Amino acid sequence: MESPEHDQDPVSEGVRLQKLMAAAGVASRRVSENLIAAGRVTVNGVVITELGRRVSETDAVSVDGTPIQLDTTRRYLMLNKPVGVVSSLSDERGRSDLSRFVAKFEERLFNVGRLDAQTSGLLLLTNDGELAHILAHPSFGVMKTYVAKTRGRITPQTVAKLRAGVELDDGPIAVDSARIVGEAGARETIIEVTLHSGRNRIVRRMLEEVGHPVIDLVRRQFGPLHLGNLAPGELRDLTKVELGQLLAIAREAADGVAADPVARPDDPNGKGSHRGR
């Protein structure tokens, strides 16, 4: 067994890779050593096979191509925000807010983006400011999928119009994809839409524009994250796979892969609101 003196040199020299991997919950230290020896671990994009390699929490480490978070002070939670809760940690008007969901955690958590009070569904809570900035910023175009119950029968022609784009007060906007779920009824239709826009209440406004006001709206997906069967008001830690997918987005953005200096069609000024849908 290695003594503590051999596990860590002065801060400038970092910590043994297998020790940080074990602390991050990737695997036991012995299994982590096997992963390294098998060439399945990269540090800053370079395959590492020597067990003596030292790293810091800021190094980009991946196992089998999936990024891992070495900083154990970071926390990532998925919340199924209920209807009637505003996307704020403290509401000046005294409305129900997110504070009751984060109160039991020691970390100072905040929400990534927003959902309006009448929209339920997937909301990410974290204390990772850098990742939150990337995921919420409109220039990175993180996809979101919503399921809406609307008034009236939505026809295939209307779905095609949503895909082609509609004109709103703040400019044109088109969904990335849309499909009717089940059979459209005479009075109500359930439609799934996916888009990357972060404009205020954009799904509601688009459906209102084509003559089908929203009765109920749920965000089912945010980037690679899926709401699954998480009940309204419940929250859970992200899995290692889910976190790895988010970290991959962040690393691509940091490398300039995801960033697009050209304004998107839904955001003619290169700017966007992070307010709720």
Task: Write out the H or E segment, with its range, that includes residue 218.
Answer: strand 214-222
What are the phi and psi torsion angles at 37 (to 5°)? -60, -30
Q: What distance in Å separates the CA atoms of residue 272 and residue 137, rounded to the nearest whole number? A: 8
CA 96 to chain centre: 23
Number of Cβ within 10 Å of residue 259's Cβ equals: 14
Asked if residue 27 lies in contact with residue 68, where contact means CB atoms within 8 angstroms, the answer is: no
Active site (annotated) includes residue 255: no
Q: Is 153 exposed, middle or buried (0-12, 13-18, 19+ CB in 10 A)?
A: middle
Count Cβ atoms below 10 Å from residue 74 Cβ, excluding itself.
18
Q: Which long-range contacts (CB under 8 A, 24 or more apart) does 231-237 make?
A: 231/80, 232/80, 232/81, 232/82, 232/83, 232/120, 233/80, 233/82, 233/101, 234/79, 234/80, 235/77, 235/78, 235/79, 235/80, 235/101, 235/125, 236/77, 236/78, 237/75, 237/76, 237/77, 237/78
112: phi then psi, degrees, rounded to nearest 5: -95, 110
**Candidates 116, 128, 266, 267; catalytic one:** 116
Q: Which of 82, 112, 109, 107 is nearest to 97 (CA)?
A: 82
Catalytic residues: 116
